Chains A and B, each alone.
Chain A
Amino acid sequence: MITKEEIKKMSTIARISITDKESEKFADDLNDMFAFINMINEKNFDGAEFTGFCGSESFFRQDKVIEPLRDSSFNGTKSIDISLL
């Protein structure tokens, strides 16, 4: 059972501020979800882990410089008190 204290802890780690009431609700929601997710405990799965497909050296990039477009990278950035030099 996930407690609302655990939810508060998770919300700190995930940098999402939540009220006491919200942490209760999220605890209920997550417990409902885990009631479903815990079906994975019905069976043992001892095989290998999925690691994605294996790439090759063709996925590497050559060490060449492409001059960046400075201004457009900051389109829409608002400068207030945390300003970018």
Chain B
Amino acid sequence: MSENISKIKQIHKLLKTKQISCKELTSKYLDAIDKYNNTLGAYIKVTDELALNAAEKVDEKVKKGSELLPLEGIPVTLKDNISTNGIETTCCSKMLENYIPPFDATCWDIIKSQNGILLGKANMDEFAMGCSCETSRFCKTSNPHDLSRVPGGSSGGCSCAVSANLAAYALGSDTGGSIRQPASFCGIVGFKPTYGSISRYGLLALASSLDQIGPMATSVEDASIIYDALSIKDEKDSTCFGNVNGPTQIHLNKDINGMKIGLPKQYLEGINKDVSDSIFKAIKVYESLGAKIVPLDMPDIKYSLPIYYILVCSEAFSNFARLDGIRYGHRTNSYTNLEEFFSNSREEALGEDVKRRILLGTYVLSGKNYEHYYKKALKIRETIFETFEKAFKECDIILSSTVPQTAFLHNFKPEDQMEAYMTDICTVPANIAGIPAISIPCGTDSNNLPIGMQLIGNSFCESKILNAAYKFEQATFAKNHKSINMGVNL
């Protein structure tokens, strides 16, 4: 169990050796969803017919003895802001409750062309704004490790499904930590690649210059397999380069003796004790593998957070302007003129958090605020980018906790708002700089809740962080892995 924990490889082995057919496997997952989803709330839509049809195709291929493609026959769930042709894509908002895209997101198109088995669409915070999955307008998702707690957000449905074995892997989206934080809370691997490595075509944009799609899985090797399959240059996305440095899988098991791991002192402040203990244990593991720890000082990193709000809210204000009820989406019944048509449709259908951020975005782009806030945010962004560039001259990767805490309770309202903002301090900077970052489980706290460790790499240096993550996982899996007795046991 400790060595080969790649679910994708396990499934492929089972299929090839005909221990199970793809249809049987898919049915197992669908039955598990049927059994557990009412409690867990991971899925807002289950696509059983689609899944079983795809499974049949895979079984035919296996019968013929053909080679299976990397993601073939693997049951997957997609966050509900990823467009799926003919299947509702709602972003868990009333605004798009009945919206059915007439096209596929590129990432889904790739999986579909490899006969991936789409089990359904996963719950999320409305329009990906949130860190608990609680702002979803349709259902509530709980943490499989403790049902009284949140799974994290905004890709909470994905992390819940993968953690509870209701999908072999998921695709989420990450704008400020929305893949990594829920992965940390649910004890799975969550990977945000370099900005521009996976196509955003078909991903409902929150902040176009920060959003990235990434895999959420139960092992680093799976994250690597999925990344290699999806990181293809897509001409439909003019910000997409694909994977410029070649496949990452071959680098996973490289010796990390001599690897320099940076430790910014800013990331060691204000962390929950259990989490920091776990991080220090992880550091010891890396040292035992031959890595060298390099202390770093990155004082400007804290400014990532205020500019994150400025940039996300500005871009969101603009990206959501198309949600006007004219061509699709919710339409009000009460209006007497055009302005009321727009305003009432949006007022009725958008949640409070979404409205708040749109108003903030409108404000920071208005008049003098544009220079004072938006342009300044761009200057600070450049500074953060340069800060990381400088840091990576002294180290190969950077280590931190993913979140300064573990999963909080449902309906938790922080007393200190400032403290609440600062919980994103570890994840946001990687989005600001557009660099890759992965969260992997590194222990549990005194409540037996998963703790996540984050590794950050330089642009397009996915191989390095996946390598470091893999080596850590192999060394500690037996100790760290907390299995959940739910879902499908392979």
Contacts and interface: CB of A to CB of B under 8 A. Distances in A.
A–B contact with Cβ pairs below 8 Å: the answer is yes
Contacts of A30: 356, 359-360, 363
A46 B344 CA distance: 42
Contact of A32 (B326, B363, B417): B417
A15 B306 contact: no
Interface string A32-49: 110111111001011111
B378 A16 contact: no
B376 interface: yes
Interface stretch (B124-132, B381-389, B462-470): B381-389
B379 A15 contact: no
Interface string B321-360: 1001011100100000001111110110010000110111
A15 B102 contact: no
A16 B348 CA distance: 9
Contacts of A6: 363
B310 A76 contact: no
A12 B343 CA distance: 8
A53 B102 CA distance: 31
Contacts, number: 128
A29 interface: yes
Interface residues of B, number: 61
Nearest to A14: B362
B102 A47 contact: no
Interface of B: 86, 98-103, 196, 209, 235, 238-239, 300, 302-303, 305-307, 309-310, 317, 321, 324, 326-328, 331, 339-344, 346-347, 350, 355-356, 358-363, 366, 373, 375-383, 385-386, 417-418, 421, 434
Given A40-B303, A76-B328, 17 more contacts: A10-B363, A14-B346, A16-B346, A36-B305, A36-B306, A37-B310, A40-B307, A40-B373, A40-B377, A43-B300, A47-B386, A50-B379, A53-B434, A59-B238, A76-B98, A77-B327, A84-B327
Interface of A: 2, 6-7, 10-18, 26, 29-30, 32-33, 35-40, 43, 45-53, 55, 59, 61, 69, 72-78, 80, 82, 84
22 contacts: A7-B359, A10-B359, A10-B363, A10-B366, A14-B361, A18-B347, A36-B417, A40-B307, A40-B310, A43-B300, A43-B303, A47-B386, A48-B379, A49-B381, A50-B379, A51-B378, A69-B102, A73-B102, A75-B101, A78-B331, A80-B331, A82-B326
